Amino acid sequence: MGETTLTFLGSQILNIPFLIAYITAIALALYRYPTQGKPALLAGCGFFLFIMGWLINAAHMYWQIFSIQNGGGAQALVPIAYLTGLASHLSELVGLVLVMIALFGTRNSPVGGTESINARNTRT
């Protein structure tokens, strides 16, 4: 491994638990989709957008480390840092809104219909 790669991995060591949590949340959302329906789908999409924000930040960090180690000036990094920061924060903001809608704004309805499973099982 090169020096750039090792430096990049060292810079991301504190962010890896978040990536693992986001992947776990997507897996749980997919698992709960048949019973939860739309809220699980919204939560899964929200956590996917969190992963996209994480990936944008990671790609920017790698590019920044690579550029500085190869003699690039810090002034050349400013426009790209602005754009990647904006894209990352917008992705995370939309993801957060989707997760909040999943938690507080939608009914618990299964995929197959609009009734809850408990209502179907207790119907006489």
Residue-level pLDDT at 47: 96
Confidence of residue 87 (pLDDT cuts 50, 70, 90): very high
Confidence of residue 114 (pLDDT cuts 50, 70, 90): low
Please check the confidence at residue 110 and state whether its pLDDT lies above 80.
no
Please check the confidence at residue 88 and state whether its pLDDT lies above 90.
yes
Confidence of residue 10 (pLDDT cuts 50, 70, 90): confident
pTM of this prediction exceeds 0.85: no
Nearest to 49 by CA among 97, 111, 106: 97
Please check the confidence at residue 39 and state whether its pLDDT lies above 60.
yes
What is the DSSP track for 23-86? Answer: HHHHHHHHHHHHHH-HHHHHHHHHHHHHHHHHHHHHHHHHHHHHHHHTT--GGGHHHHHHHHHH
Please check the confidence at residue 109 and state whether its pLDDT lies above 70.
no
Q: Return the SS3 of 10.
A: helix
Which amino acid is residue 95, in one-letter code? G
CB-CB contact of 64 with 77 (8 Å): yes
Please check the confidence at residue 5 and state whether its pLDDT lies above 80.
no
Determine the Cα–Cα distance for residues 87 and 33; give it in Å rounded to an integer. 28
pLDDT in tens, 41-54: 999 999 999 999 99
Residue-level pLDDT at 26: 96
Determine the Cα–Cα distance for residues 33 and 110; give it in Å rounded to an integer. 8
Q: How large is the average pLDDT for residues 54-75?
A: 82
CB contact burial 29-57 (16+ within 10 A = b; e otherwise): beeebeebbbbbbbbbbbbbbbbbbbebb
Q: What is the mean pLDDT of the chain?
A: 84
